Amino acid sequence: MSDTTDTKLESRLEEQETFEPPKSFVEQANVTDPAIRTEFEENWPECWERAAEFLSWDWEYDSVVDAADAPQYEWFTGGRLNASYNCLDRHVEDGAKNRAAIKWEGELGETRTYTYGELLNEVEAFAAALREMGVETGDAVTLYLPMVPELPVAMLACARLGAPHSVVFAGFSADALATRMRSSDSEYLVTCDGYYRRGEALNHGQKAKNGLRNVDHDVESIVVNRLGDESDSSFGDDAHDYGALVAEHEGASVPPVSRDAEDVLFLLYTSGTTGQPKGVEHATGGYLSYAAWTAHAVLDLEPTDTHWCTADIGWITGHSYVVYGPLALGATTFMYEGTPDYPDRDRFWKLIEKNRVDVFYTAPTAIRAFMKWGEEYPATHDLSSLRLLGSVGEPIDPHAWKWYYKHIGDEECPIVDTWWQTETGGTMVTTVPGIDTMKPGSAGPALPGIDARVVDADGDPVAPGNAGYLVIRKPWPGMLRTLYRNDERFRSEYWSEYSEPDEDEWIYFPEDGAKIDDDGYITVLGRVDDVINVSGHRLGTMEIESAIVDVAGVAEAAVVGADHDVKGEAVCAYVVLKNGEEPTVAMRDRIVESVEDGIGPIARPEKVVFTSELPKTRSDKIMRRLLENIANGEELGDTSTLRNPDAVETIARQVGDD
């Protein structure tokens, strides 16, 4: 293509505000009838049977939703099922034993494929080992593993036994692991010796071992040997070897334990306003139905597809769309261990070409990095196997959307910009790709059956185009059931803002700002609580602050998100030192190190600003909004409510001088 044609094309795209789903896509799409929205609305809640139909039930449910304990709604009550049976056995019984369930590539280029038959065998062998070790129905098993196939194996083995898993992102620190194990009373840990990042072997085993030092109860550990000869034996004889266990139990038959639809499938910790991470609890029937239904309707997955969701399984996106959704539908899920720029910046495109990936689901932060690296990287690869593209984790701006559409999708793949959260279990606000017009920058309408609104502080609908708060008015099957051992916090975090308990009206508040257009399309603006979104990772500012004030000599800290062109937001920390302490480079290093130790390198402050005081209201609340303005070099808003208005000027000057 000549330069002029290319420029013309670019400017046409830049001006275009809406995009119709390509005909070739619509012709084969799973969901194509626009009447589905009215159908779901008119038949609510029975419409959700449509999601439950994606699963095989051991026992039929009596009712779709039970609101007796609202907002702790129960879904598909009376029904029984097993998630691992639904993701494995039934596909094998249906003749798919030789179809690939997981295709995996390590960062160094080694590959592994597990057919459905092989995956079932390994899951049964590992489940037998766990059972022998004493794991019983209801026991929380912590999985602290990177992107290796043993992670989904362990998840499904837990599900088979009815033992809730609690996956801890491998990038989290030893302390973060310990906090989560203590909080979930987890007595079992599956981890590994290490894994590769940019060609280097990371000593994950040592980190896990350090974490266990801060867990007072006894823990049985199982270690996957990922590094072969390079393996470090941090655990020595204190742990079981995964490979040996699986070999020992090869051929074992472990019948799937029939679970009540409401039994917990897993816990997943996420960040909220306070310093303590929240243990989000998902139930077997509702969660799995919703993951399968949305993978079908939104990701358009078919059993013949190879699906690549680039999220780490340590986050909800990986749970729902690397593991449970694709496997429940009998598709092939692709996993990659490493980074997109190792050994070169075309690694993802190489993987798509080589594995003939049909559906690709990634995060805006990755797309922004790809844009920066340049279109020549995807251009040298055959990406024609792609049929649908997805985006998740943070808002995607129209420019990045269009780049993705053109340079990855060749203008032939619809893009689904999916808004959802750890708590929602699956996607909630997005276009249905076979039906809806796409508007770059706007996630789209709520999915059929989801009642999403944008309201003001009083709960009244805002006028189209104005900013307000996103709320969800009716329950849905994928919703969290509660926060682990904390029904109180569950109610206060999500249901206290807009609900009218006296009228038995329950409204879920996800803590996101949004605006809505005339046509019902929702643009999500970002968190309105003290949570920041760094490269699509959800981090609590209070957790970071508490790691900073742990450093000797620090008096006070406030953390905000500063705009960042690739990460979306970057961590910016304002730190007040105790009298007599000097703001030295060594002090800055100790602060950064403490955050890495307390949470992990993802939470590393990009900027540390030492200041003599923090702007506070008369009631002594830190005005983070002003600190955010300063970090972003924006106009300072109203400072008249401050107890110490001068502080703002001083900090702004300091940041300017930096």
Which CB atom, from 477 or from 510, has the smaller least distance to ligand WTA? 510
Say which residues have a Cβ less than 8 Å from residue 566's Cβ, sequence separation at least 6. 365, 368, 369, 372, 535
294 is a contact residue toward ligand WTA (CB under 6 A): no
Fill in the amino acid letter for 53: E
Site for ligand WTA in 360-399 (CB under 6 A): 392-395
Which CB atom, from 179 or from 422, has the smaller least distance to ligand WTA? 422
512 is a contact residue toward ligand WTA (CB under 6 A): yes
List the structure tokens of 75.
């879904």
450 is a contact residue toward ligand WTA (CB under 6 A): no
Which CB atom, from 277 or from 615, has the smaller least distance to ligand WTA? 277
Using DSSP's 3-state secondary structure scheme, residue 540 falls into strand
String marking each residue 224-263 x if it binds ligand WTA according to CB under 6 A: ----------------------------------------
186 is a contact residue toward ligand WTA (CB under 6 A): no
436 is a contact residue toward ligand WTA (CB under 6 A): no
Smallest distance, ligand WTA to C-beta of residue 523, A: 8
Return d(Cα 285, Cα 264) in angstroms, integer. Answer: 9
Q: What number of helices (H) and strands (E) belong to the chain?
A: 23, 30
Q: Counting Cβ atoms within 10 Å, is residue 575 exposed (0-12), middle (13-18) or buried (19+)?
A: buried
Which CB atom, from 285 or from 395, has the smaller least distance to ligand WTA? 395
Question: Among 419, 476, 490, 521, which residue interacts with ligand WTA (rule: CB under 6 A)?
Answer: 419
Backbone angles phi, psi at 649, to 5 degrees: -60, -45
Report DSSP letters for 384-410, one per residue.
TT--EEEEESS---HHHHHHIIIIITT
Question: Among 418, 431, 499, 611, which residue interacts with ligand WTA (rule: CB under 6 A)?
Answer: 418
Smallest distance, ligand WTA to C-beta of residue 315, A: 5
421 is a contact residue toward ligand WTA (CB under 6 A): yes
508 is a contact residue toward ligand WTA (CB under 6 A): no
Q: Which stretch binds ligand WTA (CB under 6 A): 101-109, 259-267, 519-527, 637-645?
A: 519-527
Smallest distance, ligand WTA to C-beta of residue 504, A: 26
Number of residues that bind ligand WTA (CB under 6 A): 22
Residue sitting closest to ligand WTA (CB):
422
533 is a contact residue toward ligand WTA (CB under 6 A): yes
Smallest distance, ligand WTA to C-beta of residue 529, A: 9
CA angle 296, 401, 347 (to 5 degrees): 80
Return d(Cα 377, Cα 344) in angstroms, integer. Answer: 9
Which CB atom, from 73 or from 315, has the smaller least distance to ligand WTA? 315
Return d(Cα 299, Cα 482) in angstroms, integer. Answer: 27
String marking each residue 8-37 x if it binds ligand WTA according to CB under 6 A: ------------------------------
Q: Cis (ω within 30 of 0) for the bond into 601?
A: no
Question: Among 127, 178, 443, 455, which residue interacts with ligand WTA (rule: CB under 6 A)?
Answer: 443
CA angle 111, 115, 118 (to 5 degrees): 100
Return d(Cα 177, Cα 166) in angstroms, integer. Answer: 10
Host H or E run for residue 327: helix 325-328
Contact 551, 576 (CB under 8 A): no
Q: Cis (ω within 30 of 0) for the bond into 71?
A: yes
Q: Cis (ω within 30 of 0) for the bond into 583?
A: no
Which CB atom, from 395 or from 600, has the smaller least distance to ligand WTA? 395
Return d(Cα 300, Cα 7) in angstroms, integer. Answer: 32
Q: Which stretch binds ligand WTA (CB under 6 A): 13-21, 102-110, 415-423, 604-612?
A: 415-423
Which CB atom, from 395 or from 605, has the smaller least distance to ligand WTA? 395
266 is a contact residue toward ligand WTA (CB under 6 A): no
Return d(Cα 608, Cα 442) in angstroms, integer. Answer: 33
Using DSSP's 3-state secondary structure scheme, residue 236 falls into helix
Contact 475, 67 (CB under 8 A): yes
524 is a contact residue toward ligand WTA (CB under 6 A): yes
Site for ligand WTA in 103-162 (CB under 6 A): none
Which CB atom, from 150 or from 511, has the smaller least distance to ligand WTA? 511
Smallest distance, ligand WTA to C-beta of residue 565, A: 17
Q: Counting Cβ atoms within 10 Å, is residue 232 exposed (0-12), middle (13-18) or buried (19+)?
A: middle
Q: Which stretch binds ligand WTA (CB under 6 A): 288-296, 418-426, 456-464, 548-556?
A: 418-426
Smallest distance, ligand WTA to C-beta of residue 512, A: 5
String marking each residue 307-336 x if it binds ligand WTA according to CB under 6 A: --------xxx-------------------
Please name every residue paired with 141 in a beta bridge, in sequence order, or none if there are none.
Answer: 165, 188
Return d(Cα 123, Cα 110) in angstroms, integer. Answer: 22
List the structure tokens of 125.
């062998």
Which CB atom, from 180 or from 226, has the smaller least distance to ligand WTA? 180
Q: Which stretch binds ligand WTA (CB under 6 A): 133-141, 150-158, 206-214, 522-530?
A: 522-530
CA angle 29, 22, 288 (to 5 degrees): 35
Summarize as ranges the residues that interact with ligand WTA (CB under 6 A): 270, 315-317, 392-395, 417-422, 443, 510, 512, 524, 526-527, 533, 538
